[in-house]
Amino acid sequence: MRTSHERGLFELYNDDHERADAVIFGRRTGASRRGFLRGAGLTAMMAALGTVIPFGRFMPGGLIPVALAQTAPKLLKMDGKADGLVILGDRPLVAETPEHMLDDDVTPNNKFFIRNNGQIPDAPADGNAWELTIDGEVNAPLKLKVGELMQRFPAVTLRLQLECGGNGRSFFQPTARGNQWTNGGVGCAEWTGVRLGDVLKAAGVEPGAVYTGHFSADPHLSGDNTKQAISRGLPIAKAIDGHTLLAYRMNGQPLPNIHGFPLRIVAPGYPGSASQKWLNRVWVRNEVHDGAGMGGTSYRLPKTPIVPGADLKEADTNIMESMPLRAIITSPATNTRLTAGTRRLDLRGHAWAGERAVRAVDVSIDFGQTWSKAEVKAPANKYAWQRWTATVALPSKGYYEVWARGTDDAGTQQPFQAAGWNPQGYGSNPMHRIAVLVES
């Protein structure tokens, strides 16, 4: 049983982890976030967790223990969606998939995260009659029904990850504006469609084309039909890349309405916002598209690092293109209790890196003192996440944190804490940590 002092520690970690950290580590955080857990701090932490921490001496300051950092999530109840998805916002509807529900090689439709910026449109009765317009910097503007798209262009099926630009945002300190994604704004489905590039080729892209602008049928949250819920685009080279699809099927099924029925873009590796759902127009532009979500600090990163909490002007930003590297542990789930005597733990997860590939994943059970290499598989195709597996030895009973850290093919590694703060919180990719407990 926990004493009131220990319960207080749980609450403190949820309310104000900086202060909890100061209490436990006996120092003010901020400038000197170093030092390790020892003495009274270690004792209090073990009391709060109700067990020993075999590698507690390596636990660095500034770290919120995973087991103490959990708040009760609000769970989604929705037809077509599995129990366990976590609601991050209900107007517009946004829900993420906890890491342990992302264990499948191919994310099933019922576990796929949801991100809307506007209202959810009603599904058309006949998806094949839905019309797509391609216009702007093209020789021959096209109006094509989805049924015609399917007949005229070769069908392609690819396993592609789709990840929200804000994935990982909740790990920023101070809090960045927007949905507080942990690692669950991602899924890797098998998408079937035609290549956007094939359709653009049929329309004849003019030499002056530089960007696409995407339009769709979902009403703005305000109901004002002169406003777009979102209208982003792609550099022309990405639009014509063979992995950028106009998708009409998801995992062998017609697109579920919530994922853009009857037609959406899938532009893997880029922020998910470039993958317009309910797509009805691609406007080929002779300049960078300026639709909703293209300007200000939306989906933009500072050209040079800024002080956390500082303002940022559009002129000092670049449009975010590749998503960053991320490795997640999909098994076991965090807070798994292992039966007494367990000394071996099998770990599994996925790793991906936007436009890049993943070169390595390393895991640690001693707060990053030592690391061991996971086995990393090749992706099913470019832009599919990569499976990794590892086995670790647990020397004794008690509380452990398992950390996973990816390295991409440019040698970049995930940071220990979210780096590169920006006002709308893009690109946060600290290493994933889970808590496991070996019972006594």
Ligand X SMILES: Nc1nc2c(c(=O)[nH]1)N[C@H]1C(S)=C(S)[C@@H](COP(=O)(O)O)O[C@H]1N2
Residues of this chain that bind ligand X (CB under 6 A): 112-118, 162, 164, 216, 218, 229-230, 259, 272-273, 275-278
Chosen from ligand X, Mo ion, none, partner binding at 424 (C-beta under 5 to 8 Å by type):
none
For ligand X, give the closer residue by CB, 56 or 178: 178
Residue 276 contacts which entry, Mo ion, ligand X, none (Cβ below 5-8 A, type-dependent): ligand X
Query: Which H/E stretch holds residue 197?
Result: helix 196-203
Tokens of 432: 């994933």
Provide the minimum distance between the beta carbon of 74 and ligand X in the complex, in angstroms, as a whole number: 18
Q: What's the CA dihedral at 244, 248, 251, 252 to 10 degrees?
A: -130
Q: Which is nearer to ligand X, 266 or 363 (CB)?
A: 266
Neighbours of 437 (CB within 10 A): 18
Give 110 or 413: the residue with its C-beta nearer to ligand X.
Answer: 110
Which does residue 278 touch among Mo ion, ligand X, none (CB within 5 to 8 A, set by kind)?
ligand X
Q: Does 115 bind Mo ion (CB under 5 A)?
A: yes
Strands 386-393 and 344-352, bridge-based pairing: antiparallel
| Cβ nearer to ligand X, comparing 216 with 244 | 216
CB of 185 to Mo ion, least distance (A): 7
Of 298, 304, 331, 299, nearest to 316 by C-alpha is 304
Cis peptide before 262 (omega within 30 of 0): yes
> Closest CB to ligand X among 261 and 400?
261
Spatial distance between the Cα atoms of 283 and 226, rounded to a whole number of angstroms: 17
Residues numbered 238-297 forming contacts with Mo ion, rule: CB under 5 A: 272-273
Q: How far apart are CA 112 and CA 160, in angstroms?
A: 13
Distances (CA, A) of 264 to 166, 185, 188, 238, 424: 20, 18, 15, 16, 25
Starting from the edge strand earliest in sequence, which strands make up the sheet with 336-338, in order? 336-338, 432-438, 398-408, 358-364, 372-373
Q: What are the tokens at 320?
A: 């975010």
User: Which of ligand X, Mo ion, none is residue 113 near (CB under 5 to 8 Å by kind)?
Assistant: ligand X
Q: Minimum Å distance from CB 244 to ligand X?
A: 14
Site size for Mo ion, by CB under 5 A? 5
In whole angstroms, the minimum distance from the beta carbon of 272 to ligand X comes to 3
Which one of 44-52, 71-79, 158-166, 416-424 is the stretch in contact with Mo ion (CB under 5 A)? 158-166
Q: Which is nearer to Mo ion, 165 or 187 (CB)?
A: 165
Q: From the list Mo ion, ligand X, none, which binds 230 (C-beta under 5 to 8 Å, kind-based)?
A: ligand X
d(CA 126, CA 123): 9
For residue 65, cis peptide bond before it (omega within 30 degrees of 0): no
Least distance CB 264 / ligand X (angstroms) = 7
- Token pair 């956390």 in the structure block, residue: 308
CB of 63 to Mo ion, least distance (A): 28
Q: Does 164 bind Mo ion (CB under 5 A)?
A: yes
Closest CB to Mo ion among 323 and 404? 323
State in angstroms the smallest separation of the CB of 37 from ligand X: 37
Shortest Cβ contact with ligand X: which residue? 272
Nearest-5° angle of CA 364, CA 369, CA 371?
A: 40
Whole-angstrom Cα Rg for the chain = 23
Q: How far is the CB of 116 from ligand X (least distance, A)?
A: 4
Nearer to Mo ion, 289 or 433 (CB): 289
Site of interaction with Mo ion (CB under 5 A):
115, 164-165, 272-273
